[in-house]
């Protein structure tokens, strides 16, 4: 039971390390932040699900509305600037990072099961392979999301005062968290492969021993 080999221990360590980073990045609103140079910046900070403005007016000038403070990004008040707040690239980032996060939650549950499951269980190797595959897929989804945000997050066509906006610490945590999913998944698959060959070798040894005993009885 549990992670006995170095490979398994590193796999579990990478998995839980990535989980901590990604959970914090997923839930905190500091993917994009203002640098604090302006005295009255219109934009303060942004996360995947929260946006903070300061005396920001409707960019379309359709309504005399001022946005001030932090709100859920899907809040009804943001409806009139929905296309500005939620461009297609950001919706894509939300989707893929959420998908990666969901796969990671599933992988965490399988990792906990791995820690309590006996290695002699018939489904043990399948558990390792499934967990590893899930982590690698989560890594692809999350990494795609952070690369896309890195390319377009501080572009001049999005948030106001773009020249004073830069990537925040939530994004900084999302990057290593996403990358750590790859070695975690690969190590689980390596562990599954090692155990598979170990079982095959044990089966081969048992068959060889049985054959030798049969020959011994025949000679007698």
Residue 201 vs residues 70, 194, 196, 206: alpha-carbon distances, Å: 61, 11, 9, 9
Which residue, among 83, 89, 81, 52, has the nearest Cα to 68 in the 3D structure? Answer: 52
Could you give the number of structural domains in the chain?
1
* 154 located within any domain: yes
pLDDT score, position 219: 55
pTM metric for this prediction? 0.84
Residue 220: is its pLDDT beyond 60? no
pLDDT score, position 133: 95
Here the CATH number for the domain that contains residue 148 is 1.20.140.150
* 47 located within any domain: yes
pLDDT score, position 158: 86
* 156 located within any domain: yes
Domain that holds residue 107: 6-219
* 57 located within any domain: yes
Which residue, among 59, 27, 25, 29, has the nearest Cα to 42 in the 3D structure? Answer: 59
Q: Are 8 and 131 in contact (CB under 8 A)?
A: no
* 146 located within any domain: yes
pLDDT score, position 204: 60
pLDDT range class, residue 171, cuts 50, 70, 90: very high
Beta strands at 43-46 and 50-57: parallel, antiparallel or unpaired: antiparallel
pLDDT score, position 116: 84
* 1 located within any domain: no
């Amino acid at each position: 039971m549990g992670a006995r080999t170095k490979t398994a221990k590193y796999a579990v360590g990478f998995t839980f390390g990535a989980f901590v980073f990604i959970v914090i990045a997923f839930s905190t609103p500091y993917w994009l932040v203002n640098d604090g140079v302006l005295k009255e910046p219109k934009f303060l900070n942004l996360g995947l699900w929260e946006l903070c403005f300061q005396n920001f007016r409707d960019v379309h000038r359709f309504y005399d509305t001022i946005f001030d403070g932090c709100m859920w990004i899907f809040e009804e008040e943001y409806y009139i600037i929905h296309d500005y707040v939620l461009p297609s690239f950001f919706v894509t980032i939300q989707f893929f990072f959420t998908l990666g996060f969901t796969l990671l939650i599933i992988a965490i549950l399988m990792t906990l099961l791995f820690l309590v499951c006996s290695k002699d269980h018939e489904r043990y190797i399948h558990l390792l392979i499934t967990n590893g595959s899930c982590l690698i897929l989560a890594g692809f989804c999350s990494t795609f999301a952070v690369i896309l945000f890195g390319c377009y997050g501080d572009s001049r066509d999005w948030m106001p005062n773009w020249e004073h906006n830069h990537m925040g610490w939530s994004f900084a945590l999302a990057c290593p968290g996403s990358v750590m999913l790859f070695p975690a998944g690969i190590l689980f698959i390596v562990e599954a492969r090692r155990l598979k060959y170990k079982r095959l070798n044990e089966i081969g040894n048992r068959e060889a021993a049985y054959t030798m005993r049969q020959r011994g009885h025949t000679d007698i």
